[in-house]
Amino acid sequence: MRFSESYDYLSGRVDAVLKIFVKEAEEASLCEAMHYSVFSGGKRLRPMLVYATCQALGGTYKAADIPAAAIECLHVYSLIHDDLPAIDNDDLRRGKPTCHRAFSESTAILSGDALHSLAFEIISSPSIYIEPSRQIEMIQTLGIAGGAKGLIAGQIIDMLATGTHLDLCTLERMHRLKTGALIRASVQMGALASGPLSQEHINSLNRYADAIGLAFQIQDDILDLEGDTEVLGKKKGADILQGKVTYPSLIGLDESKRKVLTLHEEAVSALLIFDDKSLLLRQLADFVVKRNA
Ligand code: IPE
Ligand code: IPE
Ligand code: MG
Ligand code: MG
Ligand code: MG
C-alpha cells in the first residue's frame, strides 16, 4: 500500500476512536477546548507508529486502536502545556491559535490536565483485542514515558536551559526524553498490542524508535529555522527568540542535517530483521526525515 493511503486510513481510524472519547465532558467549555486541540490537524505520528509496529509483528489494527488514541491524547496535552506562557509562550499551533490563546490560560491548563487523564482512561478501557496483562504493561509504559523519567524530565531540562547553555550530551538526553520517550512508548505499545515477541525483536524495535525519536526532534529544531510558518503551523524562529538550546544552535545546521541522516540509516538498519509487514515502519522513518511540517 502507498504511504499516503495507509496514512489517510490510519489517521481516520484513530480519529474515530478519539471522537468517541473526547466528546464526553461535564462542562461545555472544557469539552470545546479539548476538541479544539485534539482535532486541529496534527500529523498523528505517534498513533501511526503504534499501528505500524503492531502490523509489522503480525498484530491487528483493532488491538492497536486503544493505545494509538491514548498516546495521541497524551501528546496533545503535552503540546497544550508546552505552548503555555510559563513554558514556550507560543501563539500558533497546527496553524491555529494555541489553546490558551483561543480560550484562556486556565482553560488550557485544565483541558491539558483532562487530556492527560483521558489518555489513561482510554488505555485502560476494556478491549477484547488486548490481553489484560499486556494492557497493564501498556498503562505502565505510557505512565513512565509521560512522566518524570520521560517527557516531563525532558521538558524541565529544556525549561531550565532556556537562555543558558547545554553541552551536546545533555542536549541529546533532553531530546531523547522530551520527544523520544513518547515515540519509544508508541513503538512499545504497538508491540504489546501484537502479542508475544522475542528479545531480539524488542531490541531492534527500541533501536528503531530511539533513532527516529532523536531524529524527529532534531528535524523539529531544523524546521524551526528553515521551515515555513504556513506549512509548519507554528511560528518559525521561535527557538532563537526564546533562547532555546537546539541541535543547530550547538552543532550548526549542516551537522544537524547529517545527524538526522545517520539516525535514519540506524532506524532503517534496525528493521532488517523484520519482513515485508514492516513497510509502514520503514515509510515512517522516511517521513520523519523528509517532513517539512
Ligand atoms: C511537536 O510534535 C512536538 C515535538 C515533539 C517536536 P509533532 O510535530 O508530532 O506535532 P503534531 O502532533 O503533528 O502537531
Ligand atoms: C517538544 O519540543 C516539546 C514537547 C514535549 C511537547 P518543542 O517545544 O520544540 O516542540 P514545538 O516546537 O513547540 O512543537
Ligand atoms: Mg518546548
Ligand atoms: Mg514548544
Ligand atoms: Mg520545536
179 lines ligand 1 (CB under 6 A): yes
- 180-205 pLDDT tens trace: 999 999 999 999 999 888 999 999 99
155 lines ligand 1 (CB under 6 A): no
Q: How confident is the model at residue 1 (pLDDT cuts 50, 70, 90)?
A: confident
- 138-172 pLDDT tens trace: 999 999 999 999 999 999 999 999 999 999 999 99
Has residue 24 got a pLDDT over 80? Answer: no
Mean pLDDT of the chain: 96
Residues having CB closer than 6 A to ligand 2 are 78-79, 82, 88, 90, 151, 155, 178-179, 220, 234
Cell numbers linked to 2: 502507498
Mutation test residue for ligand 2: of 175, 176, 178, the one with most atoms within 8 Å of CB: 178
216 CA closest ligand 1 atom index = 6
Judge whether 101 and 12 are in contact, CB under 8 Å.
no
Mutation test residue for ligand 2: of 179, 217, 231, 236, the one with most atoms within 8 Å of CB: 179
- 44-100 pLDDT tens trace: 999 999 999 999 999 999 999 999 999 999 999 999 999 999 999 999 999 999 999
221 CA closest ligand 2 atom index = 9
What does the alpha-carbon distance between residue 39 and residue 18 come to, in Å, rounded to a whole number?
A: 9
What does the alpha-carbon distance between residue 42 and residue 97 come to, in Å, rounded to a whole number?
A: 14
173 lines ligand 1 (CB under 6 A): no
151 CA closest ligand 2 atom index = 5
Please give the model's pTM, rounded to 2 decimal places: 0.98
What does the alpha-carbon distance between residue 199 and residue 191 come to, in Å, rounded to a whole number?
A: 12
179 CA closest ligand 1 atom index = 5
Beta strands 92-93 and 96-97 are: antiparallel
What does the alpha-carbon distance between residue 80 and residue 246 come to, in Å, rounded to a whole number?
A: 21
Provide the 10 A C-beta neighbour count for residue 167.
Answer: 10
Ligand 2 center–CA 79 separation, angstroms: 7
Ligand 4 center–CA 227 separation, angstroms: 15
For residue 171, which of 264, 222, 87, 247 has the smallest C-alpha distance?
247
40 CA closest ligand 1 atom index = 14
Q: Which residue type occupies 250?
A: L
Q: What 3-state DSSP class applies to 96?
A: strand
The Cα-based distances of 256 to 225, 246, 252, 289 in angstroms read 12, 10, 6, 11
Range of weakest confidence among 1-5, 24-28, 137-141: 24-28
